[in-house]
Chain A
Amino acid sequence: MAERRARLNEVLITATAAVTGLGPDLDTTWRRLLAGETAIRPIRRFDAGRYPARNASWIEGLESRGNRSLLFPLLERLLDGFDPLPPGCRLVTATTKGCIDTFERVRKGLSGDVADIPVSGPLAWLASRLGLNDPGVNINSACASSTIAVARAAAMIESGRADAVLVVCMDLVSEFVFSGFSSLQALDPAGCRPFDRNRNGLSLGEGGAALLMMSAKTARRKGIPGIGSVVGWGAANDATHVTAPARDGCGLIQAVRRAMAKASIGPDDIAAINAHGTGTVYNDAMESTAFEAVFGARPIPLNSIKGAIGHTLGAAGGIEVAVDMRSLADRTLPPTAGFGEPMEKCVFSVRPFPQRIGGIHLLSTNSGFGGINAALILKGNPG
């Protein structure tokens, strides 16, 4: 086993970017996260007056050009000033609904570029914008899409199938998705309150993240310092219900244990958890149950950033990794915006203010429709 591990490539994250409702770049998002601010506010993109909940976290100033999707200006903003990509870099994206606004326009009889509607549309745009030879692939696994995309990229690098992979995660706020979550009575009219006793649903958000991952060998050769590394990953289906999590957290437990086994670390090595934390009654209870099954009653610092930037669906895990890299670099876990009173039976340390991280391993998890659960273990640079 030791011999096998020695042959595998270490997976570094060398550049990160994020666009969220809190700001046009990762620095602004990070600063406002630490201040405990939220971007969840009344929606202006469509008339939400007919829905009980009317808030979401949306990006200020996104403007469509020539009836094209708002996804493209989001991606332009995300990639503006991003590090150059090494030759041969592969592309893995994560989105659940891609150019859903174009789909809406076409179905309403308005003009829109139909070629953008399949995910091949934004994939081709990205490959062209970035000058990549790789046409890329998109991973769709509901709200765990980008977590699985990062895991896939890490496995590609570790196994030697790729030297460098750019992971791009993206999703928009749309009436299509908003009306659906509203019909499931899953939206909190007051804005989401992860791990709070009075939590009452999620808030939707939009955003994007770009993560440049490469083998340590390649990074060293190019003189590129790593921000941190991806050392463990795991995914599992709970095989219980399509839209509700397994009450016993069996899928998430399995995903976290697989990730820890991959990282060759034990439960005591995890210094902080960035949970999925949607703010729905069942999700947060399931996560608390699962984490307690894995970590026992140790009060590990735990947060969710969805009270600040909303649930960005397929982009969620990627944005969270970008933020997690900052958390590990600064040894600080951002506050859980919206959190007030602790939920019942949660042994973990959830706070409305920043918490100190006393170690170098952070667990980041996401779960989604279809029973999927995914976990990443990220490692900060020592010192």
Chain B
Amino acid sequence: MTGSIVAGIGWVTSQGPGRGREAREFSMNSGPIPPVTRKDVFPEPNLRFGRLPQYSRVGLAAVAFALRDAGMDHWETKRSAGIVASTRTGCFTTDIEYYNTVLPEGGGLPSPNLFSCTLPTCFLGEAAIQFGLTGPTFIVNDPGEDALGGVRMALESLSWGECDTMLAGHIDLAAGPAIPGIRPPYVGGLFMVLENARDSAANGFGTLDLSGGGGVRHDGIEIAGLNELVRACLAFPGRS
């Protein structure tokens, strides 16, 4: 299987927003996510961002930071780039927010704006519009503990020639006491820009590929989880 270069990394975690070329350390844990504002993400006024619920803001911001890190945030024509993210809880926080508009009035005043964000993929659509991305976009609910399901599928998609570039990552927000007992281990959003190694001019943050058993490898070394993967990328000696 041909490897893929990590061309950029962006995230929003409990420590706030960040991107690969500005960071040496990374940790995604179960801590609360600070608010993400439009100014953190888009320098110009943005009609959509302020209306989005937190899940969509975190996801869209992480995609934006990853593209900025890869130097791909500016565009003129649409691009064959797909997006895939793994999640444990999807957009539960938005579901709760929306359903609260259904409950009090007996179904009389459900919010159409919130409902349109009650699919975990909706922020992928926002990202596709903002950045002109026309590849496949989907969310994978992966019960695995490593939070690498999205990265794994993106690597497969690239090797199968489904598109030129994939944004791959993970997103989860804590549902809190509204749905007790559901605590995702990785809270926040993280995306990596992956390009086929044979098409990429830069070393980026190293090369990813899949082992025969489906494990994600960074420069040939099998990775156990999301934090380990990002740290390996940030520590990559030839990063460019």
Contacts and interface: CB of A to CB of B under 8 A. Distances in A.
A219 interface: no
B121 A369 contact: yes
Interface string A150-193: 00100110010100000000000001100111111000000000
A120 B107 contact: no
B130 to A, nearest CB: 9
Contact of B122 (A115, A235, A369): A369
A259 to B, nearest CB: 11
Nearest to A369: B119
Contacts of A128: none
B138 interface: yes
A242 interface: yes
A324 B111 CA distance: 36
Given A114-B179, A180-B115, A237 B133 contact: yes
A65 interface: no
Contact of A107 (B96, B116, B137): B96
B93 interface: no
Given A107-B178, A237-B135, A239-B134, A183 B121 contact: no
A119 B137 CA distance: 18
Interface string A265-299: 00000000000000000000000000000000000
A50 B137 contact: no
Residue picked from B122, B137, B138, most chain A C-beta under 10 Å:
B138
Contacts of A140: 90, 119-121, 138-141
Given A118-B182, A140-B120, A184-B115, A236 B135 contact: yes
A51 B139 CA distance: 31
Given A120-B143, A243-B116, A369-B119, A155 B99 contact: no
Interface string B124-156: 111011001111111111111000010001001
A103 B99 contact: yes
A300 interface: no
B134 A176 contact: no
B78 interface: yes
B108 interface: yes
Interface string B152-183: 01001001101000000000000000111110
Contacts of A241: 125, 129
B67 to A, nearest CB: 14
A135 B90 contact: no
A377 to B, nearest CB: 15
A67 interface: no
B118 interface: yes
B50 to A, nearest CB: 15
Nearest to A243: B116
Contacts of A132: none
B76 to A, nearest CB: 13
Nearest to A104: B99
A118 B88 contact: yes
A239 B126 CA distance: 8
A159 B140 CA distance: 20
Nearest to B85: A140
B103 interface: yes
A91 B88 CA distance: 17
B89 interface: yes
B125 A242 contact: yes
Contacts of A139: 138-140
Given A140-B119, A183-B112, A236-B136, A176 B90 contact: no
B53 interface: no
A115 B143 CA distance: 12
Interface string A221-242: 0000000000000011111111
B136 A235 contact: yes
B144 A135 contact: yes
A371 interface: yes
Contact of A108 (B95, B103, B115): B103
A106 to B, nearest CB: 6
B100 to A, nearest CB: 8
Contacts of A124: 143
B185 interface: no
A55 to B, nearest CB: 16
Contacts of B96: 107
A155 B122 CA distance: 25
A148 B108 CA distance: 34
B116 A184 contact: yes
A139 B150 CA distance: 11
Nearest to B159: A159
B143 A123 contact: yes
Given A124-B143, A141-B139, A242 B126 contact: yes
B136 A251 contact: no
A382 to B, nearest CB: 27
Interface string A91-121: 0000010000001101110000011011110
A115 B181 contact: yes
A309 interface: no
Which 8 pairs, one residue from A and one from B, show the smallest C-beta to C-beta distance? A370-B125, A180-B115, A141-B138, A119-B141, A235-B136, A138-B141, A120-B143, A183-B112
26 contacts: A103-B95, A103-B99, A107-B96, A114-B182, A124-B143, A135-B143, A138-B142, A139-B139, A141-B138, A142-B119, A159-B159, A161-B156, A161-B214, A176-B102, A176-B118, A182-B110, A183-B115, A237-B82, A237-B128, A239-B133, A241-B129, A242-B122, A368-B121, A370-B122, A370-B128, A371-B125
Given A237-B133, A372-B138, A374-B136, 4 more contacts: A136-B143, A237-B128, A238-B128, A238-B134
